[in-house]
Amino acid sequence: MGVGVGLGIAELPFSSAKAFWQWVELCEEGGVDSIWQIDRMVSREPFLECMSTMAALAGATKKLKFGMNVASVGLRDPLMLAKECATIDFLSDGRLLPAFGIGNAAAPVWKATGRPTKARGKRTNEAIELIQRLWREDSVTFDGEFYQYTDACISPKPVQSKIPFWLGGSSPAAIRRTARYGTGWLAGLETPQIVAPVIEGIKVAAKEAGRPIDADHFGAAFPFRFGDGKDDATRRQVVAFEKRTKRDARDYFAIGGTEEVIEKLRSFVAAGAFKFVLRPIGNSNEEMMAHTRLLIDEVLPAVYADGFEALAQS
């Protein structure tokens, strides 16, 4: 099966743009599959905006793929989002990995901008349909509850003739949405125990919808840290995760050595995930680089040498 290990960031862990681009260069040269940026628009902590980050990566790299984990469609205009994605895919010669969600109802952006969270799922469904049609059709007319388009068209289209369309979320509505529109599914804060039934539910729903999703188009994300995890950055992330999710961080984080990271990968593979977004935890530019190098040097060779099917059975 096609497998891939990418790296992602949430809160900006670098002190400068120069440090960020040094990390990107390390990922490009080290054989990392892709880079992913979480979407957080309103925050006192520093977060890069995901779409402009994808555009910057398109110009700064040659091989790396990149995606947003995940862009909140419920907060964005579908025409603009479709145009942005098509432009980035065109300029990168087909390296964009679009991933979308409805937007977390608890995110501060809703209150800050006065937008209602009610019906954001229906709004997202309409927007997703519009985005997909704008990518493949020369004239789009649409009369929905939230959007009304007449003869809308974008050009250039995405370079990828079958551009990926990954979706996130683990609710019953998210499962139905992925089965109806998605070409893949990417977990966010879900542990392996939660991922397994979600993936199975999507597979069943997609088959019933007559559009089965490839078995290796299911992904998971988790943070990792080489060491004992007693550093400030890891403790902050663990506390924030457990407060937000009410779950045990040990089920989600990979903390320890190479084997601990590989074991966490094994647990997600056993749950049905084959694409990964791993988030290094670092207290400084130097630590981010060091943990990324360790992953490149010790984890990636072991994973790709064994193959994920063997990894799941070991």
At residue 2 the predicted structure's pLDDT band, cuts being 50, 70 and 90, is low
The pLDDT confidence band at residue 4, using thresholds 50, 70 and 90, is: confident
Cβ-in-10-Å burial (0-12, 13-18, 19+) of 131 comes to buried
Query: pTM (2 decimals)?
Result: 0.92
**Which whole number is the average pLDDT over 202-221?**
94
pLDDT value at 77 more than 80: yes
- Three-state secondary structure of the chain: CCCEEEEEECCCCCCCHHHHHHHHHHHHHCCCCEEEECCCCCCCCCCCCHHHHHHHHHHHCCCCEEEECCEEHHHCCHHHHHHHHHHHHHHCCCCEECEEECCCCCCHHHHHHCCCCCCHHHHHHHHHHHHHHHHHCCCEEEECCCCEEEEECCCCCCCCCCCCCEECCCCHHHHHHHHHHCCEEECCCCCHHHHHHHHHHHHHHHHHCCCCCCCCCEEEEEEEEECCCCCHHHHHHHHHHHHHHCCCHHHCCEEECHHHHHHHHHHHHHHCCCEEEEEECCCCHHHHHHHHHHHHHHHHHHHHHHCHHHHHHC
Reported as a single tens digit per residue, the pLDDT across 30-55 is: 999 999 999 999 999 999 999 999 99
Mean pLDDT of 251-268: 95
The fourth-level CATH superfamily of domain 4-313 is Luciferase-like domain (3.20.20.30)
The DSSP bridge pattern shows strands 140-143 and 148-152 to be: antiparallel
* Residue 32 near residue 5 (C-beta atoms within 8 A): yes
Under a CB-based contact definition with an 8 Å cutoff, are residues 70 and 136 in contact? no
Residue 306 has pLDDT above 70, yes or no: no
Q: Which tokens hold the place of 60?
A: 């700064």
pLDDT for position 303: 86
In degrees to the nearest 10, what's the CA dihedral of 110, 114, 117, 122?
Answer: -110
pLDDT at residue 313 above 90? no
pLDDT at 12: 94
Distance of CA 211 to the CA centre of its chain: 22
How confident is the model over 168-211, as pLDDT tens digits?
999 999 999 999 999 999 999 999 999 999 999 999 999 999 99
Residue 220 — φ and ψ, nearest 5°? -140, 160
For the cut 80, the answer to whether the pLDDT of residue 3 exceeds it is no
Orientation of helix 192-208 relative to helix 258-271, angle to 10°? 30
Mean pLDDT of the chain: 93
Structure tokens at 126: 């309409």
- The torsion angle over the Cα atoms of residues 65, 68, 69 and 70, rounded to 10 degrees, is -140
